[in-house]
A and B are shown apart, each in its own frame.
Chain A
């Protein structure tokens, strides 16, 4: 499948923030390359989620546009939220949750179950498909949300701090699983995070957002570390080098 990139061009987003009215984005531009894993690292309130909402079409920019390369119509975009408890449907079984996009398309229960089993096998995921979300751990629930986002083969994946509400160890495991899955699909991904370690570990490029308004990109840092990156990669000298470089950029 051909990879889709996107260009955010001169986007403006105005927000009424008491007491001052401010522009969150003013002529904001960013290019996301086809098939890359891009992380956006920035402080709270810097507009990371707003940017994902604009890309997904949930929110319209006040000016500017999002241009999807090589595409006549809007590509299939999947969005994975931070709060899996609120994004999954607790009244549906695991397989019903994962296959919900297929239900909307009118696939029968049998077809859906087959597709879910297929995706679980493909990514070596072991889940009790007949269970309800509350029977699963936080990490597993977020994995369900990710699988739901992947089952319809999206062309762009947006992830809004998906592991922020998991404990440290589960986060490490989830990052490994995400990398495994991503190695396999290589779909253009924009991953928002306020965790620097995570932003570096997962990314091909890290976009650094500043804390002043309107939000500006401080810098875009390349990460050419070989994949798959293990938990031990974090302590490697090359990783630390990138981390130092970013911290220096943030200080200036």
Chain B
């Protein structure tokens, strides 16, 4: 049998196990797969689900993209000028060690309630991930290639755009994959606990508080699927941009 089918077999086995568990033990807090998916369909039909998915995706992506841009830009500078890295390595290590959730109260004080503090903190978290990854990508780039580019006359912006940035791209992408998951985790967490009125995190928390168990599972399932899709999207662009890698 073709290996391509393997992931589907895994998925089928999981659903079957879920079905068996529900039928044998009849647990109170676990609805059957069929119940869950019909609930999902119902939520989708009402249009509510799409609104929540969009709200969560929007917040996570805006934070992710702005953090990535800042992180990559700073990372190239830090990676190229080793003096900058040695000067700021303590500061960088300190700030990236702060759990972004711990900063939420502060973000509310400065930025008010709403979407802005959430996006700002996601961007903050993503910046450090990309900064470190990009910096290492540049730092450990091929010395020969840098030498070749310099000898061919590349300098300044050209050296950065044509050589250092593509050279760091594999590292940048591994940073982006981590960061996109992190963005979703943070967005959902913020939606759960920090003054939201929509979004997947808010729905999950709300359905748990009101004991709407089937809804809870439906929202968890959608959140998982969203994370999966975001990751696949990054991998999709990675494959296009890094086709030359490993060949």
A residues within 8 Å of B by Cβ? Answer: 56, 58, 77-79, 81, 83, 86-87, 89-92, 100-101, 103-105, 132-135, 148
B residues within 8 Å of A by Cβ? Answer: 142, 144-145, 147-154, 158, 162-163, 166, 169, 243-245, 247
| Neighbour of A81 across the interface among B148, B163, B245, B247, CB < 8 A | B148
The reply to whether A58 and B154 contact each other, CB–CB distance below 8 Å, is: no
Q: How far is the CA of A133 from the CA of B147 in the complex (A)?
A: 19
Q: Which residues of A contact B145 (CB under 8 A)?
A: 86-87, 89
Q: Which residues of A contact B151 (CB under 8 A)?
A: 56, 58, 77-79
| Neighbour of A104 across the interface among B144, B158, B169, CB < 8 A | B158
- Count CB-based A-B contacts (< 8 Å): 52
> Nearest 7 A-B pairs (CB), nearest first?
A134-B247, A86-B144, A90-B244, A91-B166, A87-B148, A86-B142, A104-B153
Q: How far is the CB of B196 from chain A (nearest CB, A)?
A: 42
Q: How far is the CA of A104 from the CA of B152 in the complex (A)?
A: 8
Name which of B149, B151, B154, B158 has the most chain A CB atoms within 10 A of its CB. Answer: B151
The reply to whether B247 and A100 contact each other, CB–CB distance below 8 Å, is: no
Q: How far is the CA of A56 from the CA of B148 in the complex (A)?
A: 11
The reply to whether A83 and B144 contact each other, CB–CB distance below 8 Å, is: yes
CB nearest neighbor in B for A96: B162
The reply to whether B147 and A58 contact each other, CB–CB distance below 8 Å, is: yes
Q: How far is the CB of A81 from chain B (nearest CB, A)?
A: 6
Q: How far is the CA of A104 from the CA of B169 in the complex (A)?
A: 21
- In the complex where A79-B148, A81-B144 touch, is A89 in contact with B166 (Cβ < 8 A)? yes
The reply to whether B244 and A100 contact each other, CB–CB distance below 8 Å, is: no
- In the complex where A87-B145, A89-B145, A89-B162 touch, is A148 in contact with B247 (Cβ < 8 A)? no
A–B Cβ pairs within 8 angstroms, 22 of them: A58-B147, A77-B151, A79-B148, A79-B151, A83-B144, A86-B142, A86-B144, A87-B145, A87-B148, A89-B162, A89-B166, A90-B245, A91-B169, A100-B162, A101-B152, A101-B153, A103-B158, A103-B162, A104-B158, A105-B153, A133-B244, A134-B244
Q: How far is the CA of A104 from the CA of B162 in the complex (A)?
A: 10
| Neighbour of A132 across the interface among B149, B152, B244, CB < 8 A | B244
Q: How far is the CA of A135 from the CA of B247 in the complex (A)?
A: 8
Q: How far is the CB of A135 from chain B (nearest CB, A)?
A: 8
CB nearest neighbor in B for A132: B244
Q: Which residues of B contact A132 (CB under 8 A)?
A: 243-244, 247
The reply to whether B243 and A87 contact each other, CB–CB distance below 8 Å, is: no
Q: How far is the CB of A94 from chain B (nearest CB, A)?
A: 12
Q: How far is the CB of B148 from chain A (nearest CB, A)?
A: 4
Since A87-B145, A100-B149, A132-B243 are in contact, a sample of 9 more A-B pairs with Cβ atoms closer than 8 Å, ordered by chain A residue number, is: A58-B147, A79-B151, A86-B145, A87-B144, A89-B149, A89-B166, A90-B244, A90-B247, A132-B244
Name which of A100, A101, A133 has the most chain B CB atoms within 10 A of its CB. Answer: A100
Q: Which residues of A contact B144 (CB under 8 A)?
A: 81, 83, 86-87
| Neighbour of B244 across the interface among A58, A77, A91, CB < 8 A | A91
Q: Which residues of A contact B245 (CB under 8 A)?
A: 90
Q: Which residues of A contact B166 (CB under 8 A)?
A: 89, 91
Q: Which residues of B contact A81 (CB under 8 A)?
A: 144, 147-148
Q: Which residues of B contact A56 (CB under 8 A)?
A: 151
Q: How far is the CA of A134 from the CA of B142 in the complex (A)?
A: 17
Q: How far is the CA of A91 from the CA of B153 in the complex (A)?
A: 18
Q: How far is the CB of B18 from chain A (nearest CB, A)?
A: 45
Q: How far is the CB of A152 from chain B (nearest CB, A)?
A: 8
CB nearest neighbor in A for B155: A104
Q: How far is the CB of A6 from chain B (nearest CB, A)?
A: 16
Q: How far is the CA of A101 from the CA of B144 in the complex (A)?
A: 16
The reply to whether B152 and A148 contact each other, CB–CB distance below 8 Å, is: yes
CB nearest neighbor in A for B247: A134
Q: Which residues of B contact A133 (CB under 8 A)?
A: 244
Q: How far is the CB of B170 from chain A (nearest CB, A)?
A: 10
CB nearest neighbor in A for B147: A58
